[in-house]
Amino acid sequence: AASKLEVSTPAVVKVEVGGTARIECNFYIPGNGSYTYMDWFYMDRANGPVRLCRVTGTDVLKDDTVYKERLSVGEDKALSISKVTVQDARTFVCRVGAGSSGVGENRTELHVYKVPETPEIEPNSAGISVQDSDNAQIARCVSRNSFPPPNITWHKNGEQLELQENQVKYTRTRESSGLYTVTSTLFAPITREDRDSRYHCTVHYWLGGQRHALESQKVQITVFYPAEHLTLQVVPSSALVKEGDNVKLVCEADGNPPPVFSFYKKEMGNWQELSGLAEPNSGVLTLHGVNKSSSGFYKCHSLDLDDMTELEKEVELVVNYIEGVRVKMEPSSSLREGDSVTLSCDAHSPVALDYQWRDEKGRKVAEGNQLFLSNLTFETSNNFSCKVVAPSVPGLERSKQVSVAVEGKPRIVAISSPLYVRQDEVVNLTCKAIAFPRPSVHWNVNGTAHEYVDNQHISSNLTVRVSHDLLRAGAMCRVSNALGASEKHIQLLDQKTTAESQGVIIVAIIVAILVVAVLGAVIYFLHKKGKIPCGRTGKQDITRPEARKDKIVVEVKSDKLPEEAGLLQGANGEKRPAADQ
């Protein structure tokens, strides 16, 4: 057991700025004695110990100090200081008086800390040239509001840099709040590979006996370097360029900033500058609506204004085309119905060609450069087109039309005959024919004619009033050309007479049906009476039966068709007198 008064406090208490520091004070008095008082002090560099308060029993007497409003003493006699600032980082003393046991004290170091904010990084905004021989400023890193001041390290592509003394500049500023702002500036040599490098800084600080770190964002810097390689390409690919396309020649260099570009075309062995066609400072030459003459060699020239480095690149532009499409017809003489003809198509192009044949309605009728037509008629499509296509160059095609004219004398294909009319009415007589050369149509009667022509077809409509002579004789349509003539007769029938004749025929048919029905009834009645045997062994004469009370007499008269009386005949087939009927 201890033989004297002992006072114990923690050696170090750590607290973050703005928090509350709590310092405990424990003591031991020999013989279970009691203390008389407890004083709390802080150590001032200039004035030594300054009392904060005195504790006696349950009473706390605060001294008039800067801590008066922020301190408090708990039931366990522990000293608490609220709203801690960096100025509170000092030594605090707990002194205990115990009468005859004397006075004892102990000290605690109050450590105040502030976690730094996330560091801010600012890359060099002006850009750095690889031709700079000295270390260039890469970036600046700023850590704000920390206590105590932290350390800063630099990283490139995730790896920490081992820097020489002349490669980093370190500054530390204490703000009015007592917190620190630390700035670190990185200097290093640059190569063209650093155009893709990413830099960041890390702030390191201690907390709770452990080291912690905060990383900044990763940034890239602008690196200037001369071009080493030059490319020149045709857009779209030269293999797909056709007449009428808009073509771009794109020149690119791997320098930064891009060099100055110039374009040239080789004409008659000499390079001619194309200054007016290139887009300024873009490295793009646009050719609108290229044609066959646009083909040839083009050159891009680059000039680096920093070190005057010059590079050149050539490319060949091939403009695909189809020209000279022609169709040959054999035989080339006039064609008649029944003849055959061969159409041959040919064209010139630097690429392979396919041929298609289509009729005047656009339907594909054949493939290949020849089309054979046999047994020609007027109805054969007279317009054919040869479509020439370059399969390797999408959209490159040309067409050529040819007319196949089949000659012959006219052939009348339709007339309005027979035509039912009434006398004195106005009617249209129609005559349609096909022929080539174009024929003329003539009528043998007077009227108003209208003609309609569609290729080899001709149609004539004659408007005429029906006279007695026209009704009797009809009309004649004559179609002729230099190769012959055809004619056809149009028969006109009187609608009134036709209707009466049709009525007579209908009445005759009805009467005949009635006679047959009555005759059948008579035969059926006689059979029932037994006058007509069912067998064929004997022949019964029913032409003159004896007079009976139940004799049936049927008489049919007709003033329209006397020959219909022959329908009523005897069993032997001879005609009977009308009286007997």
pLDDT in tens, 31-88: 777 888 999 999 998 889 999 999 998 899 999 999 999 999 998 999 999 999 999 9
In this prediction, residue 119 carries a pLDDT of 96
Nearest-angstrom CA–CA distance, 374 and 366: 14
Q: Which residue has the tokens 């405990």?
A: 24
In this prediction, residue 371 carries a pLDDT of 93
Q: Which residue has the tokens 């973050």?
A: 16
Nearest-angstrom CA–CA distance, 290 and 321: 10
- CATH code given to domain 6-113: 2.60.40.10
Q: Which residues, in sequence order, are CB contacts of 344 under 8 Å at separation 6+?
A: 327, 328, 329, 330, 369, 370
The whole-number mean pLDDT for each consecutive block of 10 residues of the chain, a chain of 581 residues, reads 81 93 92 87 92 92 94 93 94 92 93 93 92 86 93 95 92 91 94 93 88 95 92 87 92 91 92 81 88 93 87 93 93 84 94 93 91 86 88 92 87 90 91 90 92 88 91 92 92 73 70 85 78 47 37 33 35 39 35
Structure tokens at 265: 């075309």
Q: What architecture is the 323-404 domain classified under in CATH?
A: Sandwich (2.60)
The backbone torsions φ and ψ at residue 16, rounded to the nearest 5 degrees and listed phi first, read: -85, 145
Q: What letter represents residue 512's amino acid?
A: A
**120-224: in CATH 2.60.40.10:** yes
Q: Which residues, in sequence order, are CB contacts of 575 under 8 Å at separation 6+?
A: 565, 566, 569
Q: What angle do CA 31, 37, 38 make, to 5 degrees?
A: 105
Structure tokens at 15: 């607290």
In this structure, which topology does domain 230-317 adopt according to CATH?
Answer: Immunoglobulin-like (2.60.40)
Please say whether the beta carbons of 568 and 520 come within 8 A.
no
Using a cut of 0.75, tell me whether the model's pTM lies above it.
no
Q: How many CB atoms lie within 10 A of CB 18?
A: 11
Residues of the chain with CATH 2.60.40.10: 6-113, 120-224, 230-317, 323-404, 408-494
Please say whether the beta carbons of 518 and 568 come within 8 A.
no
Report domain 408-494's class: mainly beta
- Reported as a single tens digit per residue, the pLDDT across 271-315 is 999 877 777 778 899 999 999 999 999 999 999 888 888 999 999
243 DSSP assignment: T
In this prediction, residue 546 carries a pLDDT of 39
Separation in Å, CA 436 to CA 377, 406, 442, 579: 10, 7, 17, 72
